[in-house]
A and B are shown apart, each in its own frame.
Chain A
Amino acid sequence: MLEIMEGSHAVAKSVGLCRPGVIAAYPITPQTHIVEALADMVADCSIDAEYITVESEFSALSACLGASAAGSRVYSATTSQGLALMFEVCFNCAGMRFPVVMSIVNRAMGAPLSIWNDQQDSISLRDSGWLQLYAEDNQEAADLHYIAYRVAEDHRVLLPAFVCFDGFILSHTYEPVDMLTRKQAESYLPPFKPYHRLDAADPISFGLFAAPDYYMEFRYAIDQAMKQARSIIPEAGTEFSEMFGRDYSGLTEAYRIDDADCAIVAMGSICGTVKDAIDEMRNAGKKVGLLKLRAFRPFPEKEVQKALAGVSTVAVLDKNISLGSKGAVALEIRDALYGSQITVLDYIIALGGRDVRKKDIATVVASAEAGVGDLFYGLREEVLK
């Protein structure tokens, strides 16, 4: 049933329908409405979860790790500074193979302090072993949580997952969202079956240290699980599509790309603006399309190669910057297209909440066609003088 609701509330409600046994989170803008909504649900007994009001994000994820080890489905949510504080636990959680699901309400990293949106926070954790899914709108943000739990908890994967969606732009925006019913949610996402757990009846030691004779094999095993997820995410997405009619069957999603000369590659809410801009450019006779990345980890290399095979130019919109190098998405796209004749140009855009309009997208496309790229788009030259 369609409901007009705030993005945060749509996510909170979906999380509730995923039935986590333990929730541990620490408030931070723009994530707060999610954890407040979940606290309300616990207070009203509309969900049956233990809610731990931890004293920090570091403890939030540590508590989730412990609860997952003890056999519960767990949930947390954070953003930027909070995610940075979790850095050490993030690597630990993935290495220990606990299928924690965490919403990342994307926000810029300080300094300078900024509460506004870009994707530097989650992108900076790209090497931590977490699956990373990005939502374009509130419907997708809500739905991806079910899929994330399915994939993370799949015994062929067993990795934690970020569901990323843009702070304020999505989290604080009201949109119509089609919510699953309790029954639908239960039929799609069965109760959590831990692979193993802390249990006095069958004692196991978790988190041993590995000397050089074993360490590499454990890291290899995580990478293999990531690669396995490349087929499990579409499998879970396809099943979701079949049951509820919304298509999440791909790690990527193409928009008007089939005969395109120039393709834009982007993640998250900016894809909505890009689609509108493409429609206008198409009306003006420009052959432009979009490849939206739904999964950034695992990186959908094959899908990218296939989708971009026919284009001559790719303009990557990076809401992040690997300082001293390039945007993280462009680096991946270049790597995926290595050896082809396709030109890949990078545009660092919309950092710290800088607005992006349709005409900006048109300007980016014009620059790409002129071979001008690998730059910060839309800098205010007057303040740099």
Chain B
Amino acid sequence: MALGLGCTARPGKSRENKTGSWRVFRPEFIADKCTKCRMCMIVCPEGCIGEDAEGLPVPDYDYCKGCGLCAEECPSEAIEMKKEEK
């Protein structure tokens, strides 16, 4: 790969860094309790919570660092932080 002149880079490359490996606790989403308020998607510092066809949140565990903000801020207690099994 040629060097980006003057230390430049094009978008997309940070995705190669899979920050999911940092995780100690893992957010588990309980569909039954979820009211689709989207709070978790708004607060996630990684921006790594998407949604499925029904509007239910889908975390991308490749990037989720397990910070617990989504679970803390979920008004319906629909996210539980569980110790990561490795």
A interface residues, Cβ below 8 angstroms from B: 95-98, 158, 195-196, 203-210, 214, 217-218, 221
A204 closest partner in B (C-beta):
B8
Say whether A204 contacts B3, CB under 8 Å: no
Say whether B8 contacts A214, CB under 8 Å: no
Please indicate the chain B residues that have their CB under 8 angstroms from the CB of A217 in the complex: 3
- Other CB < 8 Å A-B pairs besides A158-B6, A205-B8, A207-B8, 11 of them? A95-B7, A96-B7, A97-B6, A195-B5, A203-B11, A205-B10, A206-B6, A208-B9, A214-B3, A217-B3, A221-B5
How far apart sit A76 and B45, CA to CA, in the bound complex (Å)? Answer: 41
Please indicate the chain A residues that have their CB under 8 angstroms from the CB of B10 in the complex: 203-205
Interface residues of B in 8-64 (CB under 8 A from A): 8-11
Say whether A218 contacts B3, CB under 8 Å: yes
Say whether B9 contacts A204, CB under 8 Å: yes
Closest chain-B Cβ to A267's Cβ sits at a distance in Å of 29
Closest chain-A Cβ to B24's Cβ sits at a distance in Å of 25
Pick the contact of A205: B3, B5, B9 (CB < 8 A). Answer: B9
Say whether A206 contacts B8, CB under 8 Å: yes
Q: Which of A158, A204, A209 is most buried by chain B, counting CB atoms within 10 A of its CB? A: A204
B interface residues, Cβ below 8 angstroms from A: 3-11
SS of B interface (majority)? loop
How far apart sit A208 and B6, CA to CA, in the bound complex (Å)? Answer: 9
11 A-B residue pairs with Cβ-Cβ distance under 8 Å, sorted by A, are A95-B6, A158-B6, A204-B10, A205-B9, A206-B6, A207-B6, A207-B7, A210-B7, A214-B7, A218-B6, A221-B3
How far apart sit A210 and B7, CA to CA, in the bound complex (Å)? Answer: 7
Say whether B5 contacts A97, CB under 8 Å: yes
Closest chain-A Cβ to B57's Cβ sits at a distance in Å of 28
How far apart sit A198 and B24, CA to CA, in the bound complex (Å)? Answer: 39
Please indicate the chain A residues that have their CB under 8 angstroms from the CB of B8 in the complex: 196, 204-208
Please indicate the chain B residues that have their CB under 8 angstroms from the CB of A196 in the complex: 5, 8
How far apart sit A195 and B6, CA to CA, in the bound complex (Å)? Answer: 11
How far apart sit A221 and B3, CA to CA, in the bound complex (Å)? Answer: 9
Please indicate the chain B residues that have their CB under 8 angstroms from the CB of A97 in the complex: 5-6
How far apart sit A204 and B10, CA to CA, in the bound complex (Å)? Answer: 5
How far apart sit A367 and B10, CA to CA, in the bound complex (Å)? Answer: 59
Say whether B7 contacts A208, CB under 8 Å: yes
Closest chain-A Cβ to B9's Cβ sits at a distance in Å of 5
Closest chain-A Cβ to B37's Cβ sits at a distance in Å of 32
How far apart sit A195 and B8, CA to CA, in the bound complex (Å)? Answer: 12
Please indicate the chain B residues that have their CB under 8 angstroms from the CB of A158 in the complex: 5-6
How far apart sit A96 and B6, CA to CA, in the bound complex (Å)? Answer: 4
Please indicate the chain B residues that have their CB under 8 angstroms from the CB of A204 in the complex: 8-10
Closest chain-B Cβ to A161's Cβ sits at a distance in Å of 16
Please indicate the chain B residues that have their CB under 8 angstroms from the CB of A207 in the complex: 6-8
Closest chain-A Cβ to B39's Cβ sits at a distance in Å of 29
A-B interface, 10 closest residue pairs, ranked by CB to CB distance from nearest: A97-B6, A96-B6, A205-B9, A208-B7, A206-B8, A97-B5, A204-B8, A218-B7, A208-B9, A203-B11
Please indicate the chain B residues that have their CB under 8 angstroms from the CB of A221 in the complex: 3, 5
B14 closest partner in A (C-beta):
A205
Please indicate the chain A residues that have their CB under 8 angstroms from the CB of B4 in the complex: 208
Please indicate the chain A residues that have their CB under 8 angstroms from the CB of B5 in the complex: 97, 158, 195-196, 221
How far apart sit A204 and B13, CA to CA, in the bound complex (Å)? Answer: 11
Please indicate the chain B residues that have their CB under 8 angstroms from the CB of A209 in the complex: 7
How far apart sit A195 and B4, CA to CA, in the bound complex (Å)? Answer: 11
Please indicate the chain A residues that have their CB under 8 angstroms from the CB of B3 in the complex: 214, 217-218, 221
How far apart sit A204 and B8, CA to CA, in the bound complex (Å)? Answer: 7
Closest chain-A Cβ to B15's Cβ sits at a distance in Å of 14
Please indicate the chain A residues that have their CB under 8 angstroms from the CB of B9 in the complex: 204-205, 208
Closest chain-A Cβ to B76's Cβ sits at a distance in Å of 37
Say whether B6 contacts A98, CB under 8 Å: yes
Please indicate the chain A residues that have their CB under 8 angstroms from the CB of B7 in the complex: 95-96, 206-210, 214, 218
How far apart sit A204 and B9, CA to CA, in the bound complex (Å)? Answer: 6
Closest chain-B Cβ to A316's Cβ sits at a distance in Å of 34
